């Protein structure tokens, strides 16, 4: 389903990418899949694994740029410097528990290493923030699973484009 109405920001958390030591292939995958589904990429930034910097950028994207969706990549593992979930939790006003649970459940059917993901999802004002892994392969698997009418419905609700969540589907 194409959706031209929603604006996406991509935020990469990576010391190596921020120093130019590694190409940000995960963000390329996000860009490819999101644009294929009709989303508009309006912001892209790479920051080092520094929680304060990540929090400041998330706040800017939500409060000033007012993007509809922030897709983060990287910083969700067990490394000492991984801090994207903590940054997301600190700026979120509500948590969206089901999104990372569903992504982990889907991913664990592909690899047991998915249980090591610390990804979270949250809402700040009218912006949904979803943490994705740093691996391009895992990002592709997550987004191919996530990019459907459920995500559009979530964004419709958050942005006040839908005001009715109860449907008569089972009547």
Helices and strands of the chain, counted as H and E runs = 7, 6
Per-residue pLDDT of 33-59, as tens digits, reads 999 999 999 999 999 999 999 999 999
- How confident is the model at residue 86, as a pLDDT? 98
Q: Could you read off the pLDDT of 132-165 as tens digits, one per residue?
A: 999 999 999 999 999 989 999 999 999 998 766 6
Q: How far lies 110's CA from each of 32, 39, 41, 155, in Å? A: 22, 27, 28, 27
Category of 132 on φ-ψ map: left (φ > 0), alpha (ψ -120 to 50) or beta: beta
Residue with token string 């490394």: 79
Q: Does domain 7-158 have CATH number 3.40.980.10?
A: yes
How much is the pLDDT for 170? 40
71-125 pLDDT tens trace:
999 999 999 999 999 999 999 999 999 999 999 999 999 999 999 999 999 999 9
Three-class SS state of 105 = helix
Segments making up each domain of the chain, as ranges: 7-158
Taking the C-alpha atoms of residue 78 and residue 15, their distance in angstroms, rounded to an integer, is 15
Rounded Cα distance between 113 and 108, Å, is 7
What's residue 5's pLDDT? 84
Q: What is the pTM of this model?
A: 0.93
Q: Which long-range contacts (CB under 8 A, 24 or more apart) does 137-140 make?
A: 138/107, 138/114, 139/26, 139/29, 139/30, 139/73, 140/29, 140/33
Distance CA 115, CA 106 (A): 11
């Amino acid at each position: 389903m194409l959706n031209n109405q929603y604006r996406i920001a991509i935020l990469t958390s990576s010391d190596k990418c921020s120093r130019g030591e590694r190409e940000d292939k995960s963000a390329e995958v996000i860009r490819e899949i999101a644009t294929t589904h009709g989303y508009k990429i309006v912001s892209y930034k790479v920051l080092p694994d520094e929680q304060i910097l990540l929090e400041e950028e998330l706040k800017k994207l939500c409060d000033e740029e007012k993007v509809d969706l922030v897709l983060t990549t990287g910083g969700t593992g067990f490394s000492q410097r991984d801090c994207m979930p903590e940054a997301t939790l600190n700026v979120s006003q509500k948590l969206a528990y089901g999104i990372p649970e569903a992504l982990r459940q889907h991913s664990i059917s592909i690899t047991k290493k998915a249980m090591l993901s610390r990804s979270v999802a949250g809402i700040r004002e009218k912006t949904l923030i979803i943490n994705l892994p740093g691996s391009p392969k895992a990002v592709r698997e997550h987004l191919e699973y996530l990019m459907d009418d459920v995500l559009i419905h979530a964004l419709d609700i958050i942005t006040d484009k839908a005001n009715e969540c109860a449907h008569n589907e089972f009547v």
